[in-house]
């Protein structure tokens, strides 16, 4: 059995990590750019575009997860840890599909101009401001859960690597040059 995830899974894992970090960073820092400025528009557009990319990549990750068998953890952890890991992973998948769907839907329903990757997107005509507002409220309510799930996920990986000393973290690390030989 393989000791690592498929290279495509590893690449998507780290790409999603980078995009999620950019999405959170841009939306958290947007307040430092004045309303109506090009910098603020760039930050918000980057947030939307990263969210859309995360949605597409998370759906791809689920497909790849179902296609490729997971490499075994050695030494094997207790079954409760495996169950908890699966729960957290599926919560991460669910959250990082739900957040972009909510965010993009609210943008569409708002009826105002918006763009993804610099490309103008369609809008509802007429805009549904109240519904769009309710949807973005859900987006804003759920988004902080991402910090907790990511933190739990990273802490567990580091705990397994440094304290339990199993291969949990190594299974998702990119290959080093001498590993590819």
Task: State the pLDDT confidence band at 137, using cuts at 50, 70 and 90.
Answer: very high
Alpha-carbon gap, residue 153 to 52, rounded angstroms: 22
Quote the pLDDT of residue 181.
43
Alpha-carbon gap, residue 40 to 51, rounded angstroms: 17
- Do 110 and 132 touch, CB atoms closer than 8 A? yes
Alpha-carbon gap, residue 67 to 101, rounded angstroms: 24
CATH architecture of 7-170: Up-down Bundle (1.20)
pLDDT tens-place string over residues 57-98 = 999 999 999 999 999 999 999 999 999 999 999 999 999 999
Most distant CA atoms of the chain, gap in Å: 59
Alpha-carbon gap, residue 72 to 145, rounded angstroms: 28
| Runs of H (alpha helix) within the chain | 7-29, 38-67, 79-110, 129-159, 177-180
Task: State the pLDDT confidence band at 178, using cuts at 50, 70 and 90.
Answer: low
Nearest to 114 by CA among 44, 67, 63: 44
Alpha-carbon gap, residue 123 to 127, rounded angstroms: 7
Quote the pLDDT of residue 56.
98
Nearest to 22 by CA among 42, 8, 1, 2: 42
DSSP label of 78:
P
Nearest to 27 by CA among 2, 51, 58, 63: 51
């Amino acid at each position: 059995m393989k000791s690592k995830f498929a290279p495509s899974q590893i690449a998507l894992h780290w790409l999603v990590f980078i995009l999620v970090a950019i999405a959170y960073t841009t939306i958290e820092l947007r307040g430092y750019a004045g309303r109506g400025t090009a910098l603020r528009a760039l930050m918000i557009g980057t947030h939307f575009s990263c969210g859309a990319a995360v949605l597409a990549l998370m759906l791809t990750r689920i497909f790849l997860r179902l296609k490729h068998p997971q490499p075994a953890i050695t030494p094997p952890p207790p079954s409760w840890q495996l169950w908890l890991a699966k729960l957290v992973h599926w919560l991460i998948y669910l959250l990082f599909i739900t957040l972009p769907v909510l965010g993009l839907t609210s943008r569409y329903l708002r009826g105002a101009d918006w763009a993804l990757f610099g490309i103008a997107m369609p809008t509802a005509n007429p805009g549904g401001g109240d519904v769009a507002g309710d949807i973005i409220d859900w987006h804003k309510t759920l988004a902080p859960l991402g910090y907790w799930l990511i933190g739990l996920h990273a802490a567990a990986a580091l705990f397994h690597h440094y304290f339990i000393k199993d291969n949990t973290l190594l299974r998702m690390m990119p290959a080093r040059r001498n590993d590819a030989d």
